[in-house]
Structure 1
Amino acid sequence: MLLTVDHISVYYGGIRALREVSFTVGKGEIVTLIGANGAGKSTTLRAISGVVHPAAGRIVHGGKPIVGLPPHQIVRQGIAHVPEGRGVFANMSVRENLEMGAYTRSSRKEVEESFERVFGLFPRLAERMDQFAGTLSGGEQQMLAIGRGLIQRPDLLLLDEPSMGLSPLLVGEIFKMIAEIKKAGMTILLVEQNATMALAVADRAYVIETGEIALEGKASDLREDPKVRAAYLGDVTG
């Protein structure tokens, strides 16, 4: 497995956000975490990327334990985190935002190849290279945030709520791009409130409820599970 999360628990002060959460992500997979707001999905990604530190448990990436490493070292080990809310630098151009993601690349040639790869996936970004990120549409900002993560050439991409705040049309576009990124060989751990779209694009899924894994399985199986349909897919008959 490319990533193994093994019984991690996370606390914010005296409040337990995650309780003994365990799951795996295999190379080339899209694995999604679904659940209600506040269930612990985003906290899980922050624990993997080193933004928060688990009180217990192990996280192993590429055979190496990463709990306790600072975020910049985890990035250098091949994990890119695209945060909830996009986090683009509004007063910097598209090019400058992407260059911020390229700091781990050691040669100009590698940077140029990374830019070409991102523009192949997101040609709209190439058209807006010198435009301030703050003037982009919400969908374009999400493309930029994902592109900045891909510029790092990670082997694991953590995507946190990529559809947040987007129109239904743009949500569909973003998820098509996520499928394309997978086809290009990327492994993705996806946190997403839109369970319908997440389960449509993912290979496997885990349902988090109040900081614990409640269900797991193939995404196609969970899509048909009556409990999942009733709780997360808007199926009132299920």
Structure 2
Amino acid sequence: MLSVENLSVNYGAIRALHDVSCRVEQGEIVALIGANGAGKTTILNTISGIVPSMGGVIAFEGTEITHMAPHLIVRKGICQVPEGRRVFARMSVQENLEMGGFILSGKQEVAQGIERAFTLFPRLAERRKQPARTLSGGEQQMLAMGRALMSNPRLLLLDEPSMGLAPMLVEKIFEIVVEINKSGTTIMLVEQNASMALSIAHRAYVLETGEVVLSGDAGELARNPEVRKAYLGE
């Protein structure tokens, strides 16, 4: 479904990604794990068209999207939930969801998308008129995910969904990620909580200083002594 080949990205004189290659098959959850600054978010931002690549090819469902504009990439079927949630603070929950449905063709489609978000996240339905800034961190994460799902993406890019959340909420968010995947959305997941990410992913890539150093079945990587020592705190 998604193919990234020899992707290189620079931030000024700093090389953020060095010839990174990875792929996502339809129906999978693929995790990117690694330390802060390893290049995980840069990969998602480059796939989304937010960060320009210096080299390499990104293809989605057989079409090259390497230098495509971000709004056109959303129309192709890829949507990103950014790190730090980035909800529209002064807008209500419902207005945030409506913003996520900007590519939808009519009011009925938007209404259906909102109802789907409220079914997935009942807590948002209870707060539909509240400004997003008044929500808890967990509720804002739910809103950011619901907003991204409004465009009916076939590939959802999730950047650090557990960041800053209480452990109980982290489990809930990951349960919802699995539910979204089971309902037919393919997921690429960047996550600091490597243990949780590997527990729900099908496959994973380990990044260090802008390069893929390990890849494979998520369960096998979770049992890998190097991965356990470096990322699972064992």
Q: In structure 1, what is the equivalent of residue 141 of structure 2?
A: 142
User: How far apart, in 1, do the equivalents of 2:112 and 2:5 lie?
Assistant: 35
Is residue 94–residue 114 contact of structure 2 (8 Å, CA) maintained in 1?
A: no
The answer to whether structure 1 residue 29 and structure 2 residue 28 are counterparts is yes
Query: What is the number of residues matched between the two proteins?
Result: 234
Q: In structure 2, what is the equivalent of residue 13 of structure 1?
A: 12
Q: In structure 2, what is the equivalent of residue 225 of structure 1?
A: 224
User: How far apart, in 2, do the equivalents of 1:63 and 1:109 lie?
Assistant: 31
User: How far apart, in 2, do the equivalents of 1:129 and 1:212 lie?
Assistant: 42
User: For 1:173-214, what per-residue CA distance to the aligned partner results, in whole angstroms no more than 9, with x for missing partners?
Assistant: 110110111111110000000001000010000000000000
Taking only aligned residues, the RMSD between alpha carbons, in angstroms, comes to 0.6
Deviation at 1:226, TM superposition (A): 0.2
Deviation at 1:108, TM superposition (A): 1.8
User: How far apart, in 2, do the equivalents of 1:109 and 1:130 lie?
Assistant: 19
Partner amino acid, structure 1, of 2:210: G
User: For 1:113-152, what per-residue CA distance to the aligned partner results, in whole angstroms no more than 9, with x for missing partners?
Assistant: 2112211211111111000100000000000000000001
Stretches of structure 2 lacking an aligned partner (at least 5 in a row): none
Structure 1 ranges of 4+ moved more than 3 A: none
TM-score for both structures, normalised by structure 2: 0.99
DSSP 3-state at the match of 2:178: helix
User: How far apart, in 2, do the equivalents of 1:220 and 1:136 lie?
Assistant: 35
User: For 1:31-80, what per-residue CA distance to the aligned partner results, in whole angstroms no more than 9, with x for missing partners?
Assistant: 00000000000000000000011100000001110011111111111110
Equivalence map 1:39-188=2 (5 Å):
39-188=38-187
Deviates more, 1:66-75 or 1:34-43: 66-75
Partner amino acid, structure 2, of 1:141: Q
User: How far apart, in 2, do the equivalents of 1:182 and 1:38 lie?
Assistant: 27
User: How far apart, in 1, do the equivalents of 2:87 and 2:32 lie?
Assistant: 24
Partner amino acid, structure 2, of 1:14: A
Percent identity of paired positions between Structure 1 and Structure 2: 61
User: How far apart, in 2, do the equivalents of 1:152 and 1:177 lie?
Assistant: 18
Q: In structure 2, what is the equivalent of residue 234 of structure 1?
A: 233
Is residue 28–residue 201 contact of structure 2 (8 Å, CA) maintained in 1?
A: yes
Deviates more, 1:100-109 or 1:39-48: 100-109
Stretches of structure 1 lacking an aligned partner (at least 5 in a row): none
Q: In structure 1, what is the equivalent of residue 37 of structure 2?
A: 38
